Amino acid sequence: MILDAQALNYAYPGGIKALDGLDLAVARGRRLAVLGPNGAGKSTLLLHLNGSLKPSGGRVLLDGAEAAYSRAALADWRKRVGLVMQEPDDQLFAATVAEDVSFGPLNLGLDETETRQRVAEALDALGIGDLADRATHMLSFGQKKRVAIAGALAMRPEVLLLDEPVAGLDHQGARRLLDALATLSEAGTTLVFTTHDVDLAWAFADEVALFNRGRVTRHGTAAEVLADRAALAEAGLEPPLLLELGFKTREEALAARR
């Protein structure tokens, strides 16, 4: 397992319990959708999976070893596990796109030539090479979102954590982003993304973890979990549209769309 969260507990200051005995193992190379209703604790989980938050109980294993929270350990952890937050404005702070995406590699101590190469590669992977010299604050929401992902990519992480990656994007923007993520996944990057969109989970994930009230209530292949009406209903979710339309399996529905 590249990441293994065991019995995590976390309460925000003020006492709101966001994680409540959460267990979740992430296998290397998979595309895992963390699916649940608003306020279930999905974003809080991602913040634990890259060490941004420290659990009040339980532990996180990174590639089999218990994660530590020293400055050096956190720097290494964040190099291996990138996080893309829901709001790109929370993540972008440099004046131009290229400067923003350079920040991570320069912070890793890479020289300018290597940094430039990584920036070009990351922008290319997201199809935004033409935005390199643009001012970050002048970009559209969807462009900012892709710049934020490019920033995480430039670190060449083993795992990419994405909080609601396509929320707020139009159909074409979402499609382009998912294509870019699929390419990363094919190159071996492990993807963990949160969503409350069952159709997105069905179309894109290999595995689904259903999340409700601070814990994972069911985790399995996308086909198994998304066909489990009772487990979905318990998490306040409806089955995917194509299953509702009568296709018994994902394979059948995908074949009908070809």
Ligand X SMILES: Nc1ncnc2c1ncn2[C@@H]1O[C@H](COP(=O)(O)OP(=O)(O)OP(=O)(O)O)[C@@H](O)[C@H]1O
Candidate segments 25-33, 37-45, 59-67, 93-101, binder of ligand X by CB under 6 A: 37-45
DSSP 88: G
In whole angstroms, what is the distance from residue 192 CA to residue 80 CA?
A: 13
Task: Report if residue 54 touches ligand X, rule: CB under 6 A.
Answer: no
Task: Report if residue 16 touches ligand X, rule: CB under 6 A.
Answer: yes
Task: Report if residue 14 touches ligand X, rule: CB under 6 A.
Answer: yes
**What tokens does 155 get?**
């670190």
Task: Report if residue 143 touches ligand X, rule: CB under 6 A.
Answer: no
Beta-strand relationship, 57-62 and 65-66: antiparallel
Task: Report if residue 161 touches ligand X, rule: CB under 6 A.
Answer: no
Answer for which of 24, 26, 31, 43 binds ligand X (CB under 6 A) is 43
Phi-psi region of 42 (alpha: psi -120 to 50; beta: other; left: phi over 0): alpha
Interaction with ligand X in 58-97: which residues (CB under 6 A)? none
Q: Are residues 149 and 184 in contact, defined by beta-carbon separation less than 8 angstroms?
A: no
**What tokens does 79 get?**
């190099």
Query: At its nearest, how many Å lie between ligand X and the CB of residue 144?
Result: 18
Answer for which of 145, 146, 196, 215 binds ligand X (CB under 6 A) is 196
Helix (H, G, I), strand (E, B) or coil at 81: strand
Task: Report if residue 41 touches ligand X, rule: CB under 6 A.
Answer: yes
Answer for which of 21, 27, 28, 39 binds ligand X (CB under 6 A) is 39
Candidate segments 9-17, 75-83, 123-131, 222-230, binder of ligand X by CB under 6 A: 9-17
Answer for which of 12, 138, 179, 229 binds ligand X (CB under 6 A) is 12
For ligand X, give the closer residue by CB, 14 or 246: 14
In whole angstroms, what is the distance from residue 205 CA to residue 197 CA?
A: 11
Name the nearest CA neighbour of 151 among 186, 105, 218, 201.
Answer: 105
Q: Are residues 210 and 218 in contact, defined by beta-carbon separation less than 8 angstroms?
A: yes
Query: At its nearest, how many Å lie between ligand X and the CB of residue 163?
Result: 7
Query: At its nearest, how many Å lie between ligand X and the CB of residue 30?
Result: 20
Q: Is the dihedral of CA 89, 93, 94, 99 positive or negative?
A: negative
| Phi then psi dihedrals of residue 215, to 5 deg | -145, 165
Strand-pairing partners, residue 59, are 6
Candidate segments 14-22, 57-65, 141-149, 177-185, binder of ligand X by CB under 6 A: 14-22
Answer for which of 40, 139, 160, 180 binds ligand X (CB under 6 A) is 40
Interacting residue ranges for ligand X, rule: CB under 6 A: 12, 14, 16, 18, 36, 38-44, 196
